[in-house]
Amino acid sequence: MPALQNQSLTLNPNELTLTRVGQLERRIEASIERVWENVLDWEHLPYLHETSFDYCELDEAGSWGWRVWSSPEHSSHIELCVDQDQYVARSYAGGLQRSEIWTRLKAVASHATDIEVSFYLSDVPAEKVSSLGESMRRLYSILWDEDEAMMRERQRQLDAHRSRTQRLELGPVAQLRNQLPLTFEFNRQTYELSMTSHWTLTPKICPHLLGPLQTVEDAPNEVRCPWHGYRFDKTSGECLEPETARCRLRPLPHVREENDVLWVIARPDHELGASAP
Ligand code: FES
Ligand SMILES: [Fe+2]
């Protein structure tokens, strides 16, 4: 089912007393491809933007856009619809539309996109237009800061040249013990080396969309990604949350001491199976 809102790609289809309270123009240091990917990615809202969205549950998504419930009892929702070089997001509470935000995108370079965001709110007293416009600009500046950081990091990971090697020498064991935790790259993944009763590797790049994995504080055998909240078991590689995820951690390479030198050794293909990158 596509958008619920009739004539979703026209301004003010519900004929509200809508006021344009302000706009935001800025340059995003990311390609338009990354920006569209981010716009259609509803899943990051309560994680990357956790200070702005506390609940988000998918109702429907497609090439037209997406609709999410923004309250657990399904009394409010947000619907985003795509229209060529722009998109519109409307929020509804109790079935009534509250806001309408139009965003126009323009690619200006391979890694830069200009955005122009227009904020429309319903039933705004004249004396509140400018303060509400300022609040919306502040809120959307924060949201776009968070999105831009995510898009740039994802692009950096996509661009990184990582040739595949069989072995990587990490260095003398005695020296490494003083450098822990040590971060290094090996075969398209970044790892953190640490030592408990044995050498331990923790993967740092999320197999979902290349976000930065972090160890879960009260569950050290788990890593979690702040972009969409996916949680993985480090030992099995399994994605623990969400259950619908189709990705898993790639099996870890071997760590081996040889003549007091520590090596990381790629697993042979037959040990890798069909896991995601
Ligand atoms: S990039 Fe989506 S959960 Fe990690
Ligand atoms: Fe976002």
Would you state the structure tokens that stand for residue 245, as one six-digit string? 């995820």
* C-beta of 225 in contact with ligand 1 (< 6 A): yes
Pairing relationship of beta strands 76-83 and 189-195 according to DSSP bridges: unpaired
* Residue 90 Cα to ligand 2 middle (Å): 15
> Which residues place a Cβ less than 5 A from the ion ligand 2?
147
Quote the CA–CA distance of 24 and 138 in Å, as a whole number. Answer: 9
- pTM for this structure? 0.89
Over residues 171-200, the pLDDT tens digits come to: 999 999 999 999 999 998 999 999 988 999
Q: Compute how many other C-beta atoms are within 10 angstroms of the C-beta atom of residue 178.
A: 7
Q: What is the pLDDT of residues 78-131, one digit of tens each?
A: 999 999 999 999 999 998 999 999 999 999 999 999 999 999 999 999 999 999
Domains and CATH numbers, the chain: 18-159 (3.30.530.20), 167-272 (2.102.10.10)
Q: Residue 224: helix, strand or coil by DSSP?
A: strand
Does the Cβ of 228 fall within 6 Å of ligand 1?
A: yes
Residue 274 pLDDT: 46
Ligand that lies nearest to the alpha carbon of residue 149, given by its number in the listed order = 2
Rounded-to-integer distance, Cα 197 and Cα 125, Å: 66
Residue 188 and residue 54: Cα distance in Å, rounded?
33
